[in-house]
A and B are shown apart, each in its own frame.
Chain A
Amino acid sequence: MKVRISFDALQQMHKHAETDYPNECCGFFYGLEGDIRQVRITRKVENAKEGDQRRRFQIAPKDYQEAEKYAIDHDLDLLGVYHSHPDHPAEPSEHDRKVAMPWFSYIIISVQDGEAVKTRSWQLNNERQFEEETVETEEFTTK
Protein backbone atom coordinates (compact mmCIF):
# COMPACT_ATOMS: atom_id res chain seq x y z
CA MET A 1 0.00 0.00 0.00
CA LYS A 2 1.48 3.29 -1.08
CA VAL A 3 0.18 6.84 -1.03
CA ARG A 4 1.74 9.56 -3.13
CA ILE A 5 0.81 13.03 -1.89
CA SER A 6 1.23 16.11 -4.04
CA PHE A 7 3.41 18.80 -2.53
CA ASP A 8 0.51 21.24 -2.46
CA ALA A 9 -1.85 18.80 -0.74
CA LEU A 10 0.73 18.02 1.91
CA GLN A 11 1.38 21.70 2.52
CA GLN A 12 -2.35 22.37 2.89
CA MET A 13 -2.78 19.59 5.42
CA HIS A 14 0.22 20.78 7.41
CA LYS A 15 -0.97 24.38 7.40
CA HIS A 16 -4.41 23.29 8.56
CA ALA A 17 -2.94 21.17 11.35
CA GLU A 18 -0.71 24.01 12.52
CA THR A 19 -3.46 26.64 12.34
CA ASP A 20 -5.84 24.57 14.45
CA TYR A 21 -3.20 23.59 17.02
CA PRO A 22 -3.61 22.78 19.90
CA ASN A 23 -6.92 21.37 18.66
CA GLU A 24 -7.25 18.49 16.26
CA CYS A 25 -8.05 19.37 12.68
CA CYS A 26 -9.71 17.14 10.10
CA GLY A 27 -10.51 16.99 6.42
CA PHE A 28 -10.81 14.86 3.32
CA PHE A 29 -8.45 14.22 0.45
CA TYR A 30 -9.11 13.27 -3.13
CA GLY A 31 -7.23 11.98 -6.11
CA LEU A 32 -6.91 8.84 -8.12
CA GLU A 33 -7.06 5.27 -6.90
CA GLY A 34 -4.61 2.76 -8.32
CA ASP A 35 -1.63 0.64 -7.37
CA ILE A 36 -0.39 3.85 -5.81
CA ARG A 37 -2.99 6.21 -4.39
CA GLN A 38 -2.39 9.68 -5.74
CA VAL A 39 -3.55 12.41 -3.37
CA ARG A 40 -4.06 15.66 -5.20
CA ILE A 41 -6.65 17.76 -3.42
CA THR A 42 -7.55 18.32 0.20
CA ARG A 43 -10.70 19.85 1.65
CA LYS A 44 -10.81 21.18 5.17
CA VAL A 45 -13.76 20.24 7.36
CA GLU A 46 -14.80 21.84 10.60
CA ASN A 47 -14.10 19.68 13.63
CA ALA A 48 -17.65 19.05 14.82
CA LYS A 49 -16.65 17.49 18.12
CA GLU A 50 -18.38 19.28 20.95
CA GLY A 51 -16.23 20.27 23.89
CA ASP A 52 -12.51 19.69 24.07
CA GLN A 53 -11.07 19.24 20.58
CA ARG A 54 -7.47 18.72 21.64
CA ARG A 55 -7.86 14.94 21.68
CA ARG A 56 -10.88 14.29 19.49
CA PHE A 57 -12.28 15.12 16.10
CA GLN A 58 -15.60 14.41 14.46
CA ILE A 59 -16.99 15.11 11.01
CA ALA A 60 -20.64 16.05 10.69
CA PRO A 61 -22.74 13.69 8.53
CA LYS A 62 -23.70 16.58 6.27
CA ASP A 63 -20.02 17.35 5.62
CA TYR A 64 -19.43 13.72 4.80
CA GLN A 65 -22.27 13.68 2.29
CA GLU A 66 -20.94 16.85 0.69
CA ALA A 67 -17.51 15.25 0.48
CA GLU A 68 -18.93 12.33 -1.48
CA LYS A 69 -20.79 14.70 -3.78
CA TYR A 70 -17.62 16.71 -4.41
CA ALA A 71 -15.84 13.55 -5.55
CA ILE A 72 -18.59 12.70 -8.01
CA ASP A 73 -18.88 16.27 -9.31
CA HIS A 74 -15.12 16.48 -9.93
CA ASP A 75 -14.61 12.92 -11.14
CA LEU A 76 -12.19 12.18 -8.34
CA ASP A 77 -11.93 9.39 -5.81
CA LEU A 78 -12.57 10.22 -2.17
CA LEU A 79 -9.47 8.50 -0.86
CA GLY A 80 -9.65 9.13 2.85
CA VAL A 81 -9.54 11.34 5.88
CA TYR A 82 -6.74 13.32 7.47
CA HIS A 83 -6.52 14.57 11.00
CA SER A 84 -3.89 15.90 13.36
CA HIS A 85 -2.51 14.60 16.65
CA PRO A 86 -1.38 17.64 18.63
CA ASP A 87 1.70 16.80 20.70
CA HIS A 88 1.22 13.11 19.97
CA PRO A 89 2.78 10.71 17.44
CA ALA A 90 1.28 10.25 13.99
CA GLU A 91 -0.03 6.85 14.97
CA PRO A 92 -3.67 5.77 15.13
CA SER A 93 -5.16 5.41 18.56
CA GLU A 94 -7.46 2.60 19.61
CA HIS A 95 -10.28 5.10 19.29
CA ASP A 96 -9.22 5.81 15.71
CA ARG A 97 -9.23 2.09 14.93
CA LYS A 98 -12.60 1.30 16.45
CA VAL A 99 -14.47 3.79 14.30
CA ALA A 100 -12.40 3.54 11.13
CA MET A 101 -13.89 2.57 7.80
CA PRO A 102 -12.34 0.03 5.44
CA TRP A 103 -10.58 1.08 2.26
CA PHE A 104 -10.02 4.68 3.31
CA SER A 105 -6.52 5.93 3.94
CA TYR A 106 -6.17 7.70 7.26
CA ILE A 107 -3.45 10.33 7.14
CA ILE A 108 -2.31 11.49 10.58
CA ILE A 109 -0.16 14.57 11.11
CA SER A 110 1.80 14.87 14.30
CA VAL A 111 2.03 18.49 15.46
CA GLN A 112 4.61 19.27 18.11
CA ASP A 113 4.54 22.72 19.71
CA GLY A 114 2.52 24.03 16.79
CA GLU A 115 4.69 22.61 14.01
CA ALA A 116 3.74 19.70 11.77
CA VAL A 117 6.66 17.33 12.15
CA LYS A 118 5.53 13.94 10.87
CA THR A 119 2.93 12.63 8.41
CA ARG A 120 2.00 8.97 8.20
CA SER A 121 -0.85 7.09 6.54
CA TRP A 122 -2.76 4.03 7.67
CA GLN A 123 -5.38 1.69 6.30
CA LEU A 124 -7.49 -1.03 7.92
CA ASN A 125 -6.75 -4.59 6.89
CA ASN A 126 -9.34 -7.35 6.74
CA GLU A 127 -8.88 -8.01 10.46
CA ARG A 128 -9.74 -4.37 11.19
CA GLN A 129 -6.18 -3.62 12.25
CA PHE A 130 -4.30 -0.62 10.91
CA GLU A 131 -1.41 -1.19 8.57
CA GLU A 132 0.91 1.64 7.69
CA GLU A 133 1.07 2.84 4.11
CA THR A 134 4.21 4.13 2.48
CA VAL A 135 3.96 7.88 1.97
CA GLU A 136 5.69 9.63 -0.90
CA THR A 137 5.56 13.33 -1.61
CA GLU A 138 5.55 14.54 -5.16
CA GLU A 139 4.70 17.68 -7.05
CA PHE A 140 2.08 16.91 -9.68
CA THR A 141 1.34 18.82 -12.82
CA THR A 142 -2.38 19.26 -12.50
CA LYS A 143 -3.02 21.60 -15.42
Chain B
Amino acid sequence: MATIIIPTPLRKYTNQNRKFETTEDNLSDAIQQFIDEYPEVKQNLLDEDGNVRSYIKLYIGDEEVNPAENGSTQLTDDTEVSIVPAIAGGTEL
Protein backbone atom coordinates (compact mmCIF):
# COMPACT_ATOMS: atom_id res chain seq x y z
CA MET B 1 0.00 0.00 0.00
CA ALA B 2 1.17 3.52 -0.75
CA THR B 3 1.80 5.85 2.17
CA ILE B 4 0.80 9.46 2.80
CA ILE B 5 3.26 11.32 5.03
CA ILE B 6 1.42 13.69 7.36
CA PRO B 7 3.14 16.91 8.47
CA THR B 8 3.20 17.88 12.14
CA PRO B 9 0.53 20.64 11.95
CA LEU B 10 -2.09 18.24 10.58
CA ARG B 11 -1.47 15.47 13.10
CA LYS B 12 -3.89 17.03 15.55
CA TYR B 13 -6.53 15.81 13.11
CA THR B 14 -5.04 12.34 12.57
CA ASN B 15 -4.76 11.10 16.13
CA GLN B 16 -1.08 12.11 15.97
CA ASN B 17 -0.43 9.53 13.27
CA ARG B 18 2.52 10.42 11.06
CA LYS B 19 1.54 8.17 8.18
CA PHE B 20 -1.58 6.96 6.47
CA GLU B 21 -1.52 3.80 4.38
CA THR B 22 -3.93 3.93 1.48
CA THR B 23 -5.45 1.00 -0.34
CA GLU B 24 -6.16 3.21 -3.38
CA ASP B 25 -3.89 3.06 -6.38
CA ASN B 26 -4.10 6.62 -7.72
CA LEU B 27 -3.38 10.00 -6.20
CA SER B 28 -6.89 11.48 -6.20
CA ASP B 29 -8.50 8.45 -4.64
CA ALA B 30 -5.72 8.19 -2.08
CA ILE B 31 -6.24 11.78 -0.93
CA GLN B 32 -9.99 11.23 -0.79
CA GLN B 33 -9.53 8.09 1.30
CA PHE B 34 -7.22 10.02 3.63
CA ILE B 35 -9.86 12.72 4.11
CA ASP B 36 -12.60 10.14 4.59
CA GLU B 37 -10.52 8.60 7.36
CA TYR B 38 -9.74 11.96 9.00
CA PRO B 39 -12.52 14.42 8.02
CA GLU B 40 -11.10 17.28 10.07
CA VAL B 41 -8.09 17.36 7.77
CA LYS B 42 -10.24 18.54 4.88
CA GLN B 43 -10.62 22.22 5.75
CA ASN B 44 -6.90 22.58 6.26
CA LEU B 45 -5.86 20.60 3.18
CA LEU B 46 -8.45 21.64 0.60
CA ASP B 47 -9.93 25.00 -0.34
CA GLU B 48 -13.60 25.75 -0.95
CA ASP B 49 -13.32 24.38 -4.49
CA GLY B 50 -11.88 21.09 -3.35
CA ASN B 51 -8.38 21.86 -4.58
CA VAL B 52 -5.27 21.47 -2.44
CA ARG B 53 -4.71 24.82 -0.73
CA SER B 54 -2.18 27.07 -2.41
CA TYR B 55 0.18 26.96 0.58
CA ILE B 56 0.28 23.18 0.73
CA LYS B 57 2.25 21.08 -1.74
CA LEU B 58 2.20 17.35 -2.40
CA TYR B 59 5.34 15.53 -3.40
CA ILE B 60 6.15 12.06 -4.62
CA GLY B 61 9.88 11.94 -4.15
CA ASP B 62 11.21 15.23 -5.52
CA GLU B 63 8.31 15.69 -7.91
CA GLU B 64 5.47 18.02 -7.02
CA VAL B 65 2.08 16.55 -7.80
CA ASN B 66 -1.42 17.92 -7.62
CA PRO B 67 -4.62 15.88 -7.63
CA ALA B 68 -6.24 18.52 -9.87
CA GLU B 69 -3.59 17.97 -12.52
CA ASN B 70 -2.03 14.60 -11.78
CA GLY B 71 -4.90 12.88 -10.04
CA SER B 72 -4.56 9.72 -12.07
CA THR B 73 -0.93 9.29 -11.04
CA GLN B 74 -0.53 5.64 -10.19
CA LEU B 75 0.70 4.70 -6.73
CA THR B 76 2.62 1.56 -5.97
CA ASP B 77 3.24 -0.15 -2.66
CA ASP B 78 6.44 1.80 -2.04
CA THR B 79 5.10 5.20 -3.13
CA GLU B 80 5.30 7.91 -0.48
CA VAL B 81 3.13 10.99 -0.96
CA SER B 82 4.40 13.81 1.27
CA ILE B 83 2.14 16.66 2.35
CA VAL B 84 4.42 19.68 2.67
CA PRO B 85 3.28 23.06 4.00
CA ALA B 86 4.76 25.87 1.91
CA ILE B 87 5.78 28.01 4.86
CA ALA B 88 5.82 31.72 4.05
CA GLY B 89 4.79 35.10 5.39
CA GLY B 90 6.00 38.57 6.09
CA THR B 91 5.01 42.07 7.08
CA GLU B 92 2.38 44.20 5.42
CA LEU B 93 3.62 45.69 2.17
List the interface of chain A (C-beta within 8 A of B). Answer: 24, 26, 49, 55-59, 61, 64-65, 68, 71-72, 77-78, 81, 83, 85-86, 88, 92-96, 98-104, 106
Contacts and interface: CB of A to CB of B under 8 A. Distances in A.
Nearest to A63: B87
Contacts of A98: 55
Nearest to A58: B88
Contacts of B10: 101-103
Between B11, B18, B87, B93, the greatest number of chain A beta carbons within 10 A of the residue's beta carbon is seen for: B87
A72 B16 CA distance: 13
Contact of A102 (B12, B57, B89): B12
B48 interface: no
Contacts of B69: none
Given A65-B82, A68-B7, A102 B91 contact: no
Interface string B21-47: 000000000000000000000001000
B86 interface: yes
A99 B86 contact: yes
A93 B90 contact: yes
Nearest to B58: A61
Contacts of A64: 7, 84-87
A63 to B, nearest CB: 9
B91 A93 contact: yes
A93 B8 contact: no
B9 A55 contact: no
Given A64-B84, A101-B44, A94 B9 contact: no
A59 B7 CA distance: 15
